[in-house]
Structure 1
Amino acid sequence: MDAPPRFADRYELRQVLGRGGMAEVYLAHDSRLGRTVAVKTLLGDLARDPVFQARFRREAQSAGSLNHPAITAIYDTGEDQVNGVPMPYIVMEYVEGSTLRDLLHTGRGLLPERVMEICVGVLQALDYSHGAGIVHRDIKPANVMLTPAGQVKVMDFGIARASGDSGMTMTQTAAVIGTAHYMSPEQARGEKVDARSDLYSTGCMLYELLTGRPPFVGDSPVAVAYQHVSEEPTPPSVLAEGISPGVDAVVLRSLAKDREWRYQSAAEMRADLEAVLEGRGMAVFAPPPEPSASRASGAATASMPAMSAARTGVAPAVPDGGGRRANRRPPQRRSSQRSTVLLAVGAVLVLIGAVAIGRLLFPDEGDGGGGTTLTVPDLTGLSFEDARARAANQSLVVAEGTSRPCVEEADTVCETSPAADEEIERGETVTLIMSSGPEPVEVPNVVGDPFQEALAELQDSGFRVAQESQEDGSAEPGTVLTQDPEAGEEAEPGETVTLVVADAPESDSDEEPDPGDSENQSTVAVPSVVGQEFNAAAQALRNTGFEPVLSEEQNPSIAAGTVIRQSPEGGAQVAPGTPVEIVYAVGAGGQDQNPDQPDTPEETPNVLGQQFDQARQGLEAQGFSVSREDRADGRFQQGTVIEQRRSGDSMTLVVAVPG
């Protein structure tokens, strides 16, 4: 069941930004407020399922009640009819940037200080949501975004619930809620979760950002869940360099099996991270004493892992009124822990049995990673060390093979053998074919060609182009006089070819203009600015009495900021003060090249001076999606397009409105 192109006669859906297990998110335009938003809808037939509808509405209620700069804002919610079925939707703040999962997939490591700063931002969001009584229950790298400015945004409260909800367990309608690598022990056991469960998941995420891998890995989700319940994590400093004992202490405290030994609030964990960042001593946050602890034996402290009090944040015992040392734990704690462990093992055995029965009933559904075959991951573009680490996370062994020229950067993986997504037997080796850099290409001969033709030919060959002008009375203006590198030389794709282009010499005529010639009195030649840097080009136009109007076009083959074309063209005779559009190149900007999307128009139509409605109709007919920005400018008629900016197949029109 496809989502309609428009919800509530207001939100115009553009392209799919992401898709998860139960919903997909669209980039959309709010036509009423003229802003870009993200619209989340249920996937396909899930819209008919009352359980998923309830979860979806719960997300809207949970996140909609939160207003914090580190939490994705909810603007609107509602339902629309799709094929006769009510389709709930959530309108959210559109956040530019990438998720921490995307960052991890690039293989680029972060400094421990930056990792802690990111987690401080996450903990600020959790401190706010916990204070509002909302537990997220699915903190993981895929649900945390970083904006280009470095701001943290926590999103996807799809399985969040109020902390007082009696149904807050991991098992619901026979489904496990959460993600195995970041699941707290109580979640794995199906017990009631609280704010401290979010802190455990945050600790798992902190661990992975520091080391490049989660604290527990296994062949199946059940194997990972078992480790969360019964095994201690390896300190991060053992797996990665540059991690201080203070960082180890924060991570290991957040990953305590017993939530009473974890941080008791997001504020406590954040305070310790900030203390480590600033080089201060860590705060001491002790779990609250149980009612019977006033006369308890000091032996209870033996149940903690072997770590110093300074690193674990365990408070020393304090003498009680009778001179004896009171402890925070009653003597019965050891038997209580044994009971908890037995319950945990029983829960895990039930999970293992359920998976085994499922595999017997559905043998063709895949082995979920627990069989003898593994899928080769896509390692192209990674360095050998990063590729080896990525493969090791998936229990694969790699070996370096030969090198050859390819489109990937030198000394990165060009391809693998077996290829990505192929299945191999456990224990087999994946050979990495490394790149020696792009294969050199012969530079074509463009001397004597018009600049636009030369530009197109060089771009088709994979080169960038820079233009220089030279006065030459013997050549046709706009003709290429020389090129560097010269024709026939070999150069790598992406290198810049500099073209010297003929420009008409300035007139030396002493002939007086005819006073009766109105054309000489009312028109001026437009200077040619193609090939110049756009700021310099704009200034040159202003110096000659013209009004520059800037627009940009994605063109990675030309140096960013270089003017690609102008309208009117150089040399044209026009009235002083005429607006001159200059289109300059910008990089690709990480736009998705989705083969399912319609082809992006190659030419950028000039709609400057048109009324907005007329311009929008023309652009949409050519396959563009159009958005509007209003700008107070009394020099133009209201509704006139005074600036246009292109990004792929999206066009932003700046429209004049009264001041």
Structure 2
Amino acid sequence: MIERDELTGAVVAARYRLERLIRGGADSTSVFAATDLRSNHSVIVRLVTVESIVAEGETSDAERGSLDPNQAVEAFQRHLLSVAGISHPVLVPPLDWGDTALRGERFVFIVTERIEDVSLRELLDRGRRLSASQTLVIGLDLCRALHHLHQLGITHGDVRPANVFVSPDSRARLAGIGIKRGISGTASMSIEQARYAAPEFSIEASATPESDIYALALTLLETITGDVPFAADSLAVTLANRAGKLLPVSADIGPIAVPIEKAGRPEPSDRSTAIDFGRALAQLAGKLPAPEQIASLTTESFRDTITRQLDAVVAEPAPRSAEPAVSVGVVKPADVAVIAPPAERRRYRWLWSGLAAVAVTVGGVLVWQTLNVESFEVPALSGVAEGEARNTVSQLGWNIVISVERSDDVALGEVIRTVPPTGAMLQEGDDLTLVVSEGPTLAVVPDVNGLSRDDAVAALESQGLVVAEVIRDDDAVPAGRVVSWIVTEQPNLLAGSEVLKGTRVEITVSGGPVLRNVPNLIGRSEADAQAQLVAVQLVGQRNDDVFSVDIEVGLVATQTPAVSGQLARNGVVAYSLSKGPETVELPSIVGLTLADAQKKLVEAGLSVGVTTGRTSSRVRSVTQDGTTLKAGDLVRKGTAVNLVFP
């Protein structure tokens, strides 16, 4: 495998000259600052080895393991084509892509806009930290971008500081869209990418909208604190550290801690969506000071930052008054008493007296301070933003303890009450608890399966939820009762889950049994007819066989209901098998006049066909289809016989 640095100076697709390697990509990806030789514009070119998109599962699950390199490249480019048309002011979509061979190795390349703004990664690497106000503005932009992607069914899959670029006014751009094809294998992650991986990657390797939000929460938290919670030197250890653990978001960063904590919860279903995260941040905008401009990095290089030398300042020793030299004699053994001269003994007595006086004075001050600790009245802080409340009491010497709970009356991030309450006297050094609103109280989603439609609606609306209704026929649930329900924005939630009031819950109400179309049984054998009915969960009932002119003996001649009918499950379809055509005995009509013969034939269900001879005489013989019949022969009912006269 070639070294990445060796590619500098190469020209990709006869158009893009690679100028400089940008560090920090995944093992299989190289990122270069490049020049578009056609337009002379600066661009970014990412090179991904074709081997990696086959081996590491960058293609879809259905294709994994069955694609050759050409198929893998084609699938990767199809994905890039699907995101190329995305237009959003925060997103940086791909401008060009393709595959190329460099130094004997095959790559796919992706070209994106070269953003002049500084990345969050550069800021953080140089020791910069952003204020909560600056972070909030960046977070709003990123939430809007991710919401746009998620609405289109696209997952970013690589949200991290290296892909976030900020301008001095804190406006953000999000790069990397389309670079990761929805991570399908954790093996393709770099150590840098692993720092922002959601805990569910330990069991589900595909990126999701929820994992995008988790990565965004970590990114915003790092911009304020400089730390990424639970990050380790390997993906496995990082994921193990995060499993089942809430993000340790300190209330010291202010009210922005609340939405960041919710976006970074360990269970994907407990996290905010992109739009909910953005709304929570927007609610805080009026409660934070206006963000200052982000200081430029162009005035100082990173090397200058870490190698700057400070001039050493050496303090001059304080002058000492001259003292008489003291001669030191030979050290005496420990059991020999040494008698000091009288002048030296007087000097030590004064020293000990002074020290004793100082000790008494200090002790008195400490006792006085202990007995004279100041107390202050707890001010009215209800409805005040947490940060403002902290500032209000910051000079009173109290230990501030933050407790959170939900409130329908107090806005997110504002103080609900204090402990002790307003007006109480509190000594310096004591705890003052600020109970801060975590937002409106949550609704508990009840289980309404099996309830009547009206009872289900009442139960949901009593929790402050919005109900949508769908009617669907169901064989198992009686008409008018709830078959199933779903929280439309979070389909995986179960009964007992907590959601924001106003969340939409869709209930499916049974319209009664599903009606089956009655199949056509006419002309089928009885076994075939029964199989047709069983297939649609209907029951066959055989009635007495019937005569049929058109249907062969033993086949179904009649059915009720007819083919156009509908029945519920286990509905009965009655049918009769054919006995063939009905026959009658030929009456004795030989020797009768035409009128008498015709009368007897009609009474028997027959009719007169062709007559030959003198009809004024009497019948001499009877025929049908060339066969001479005699009285008592069986003739198909309803047919005509021919009469022969002399």
Q: Please tell me the TM-score bracket, short chain as reference.
A: 0.3 to 0.5
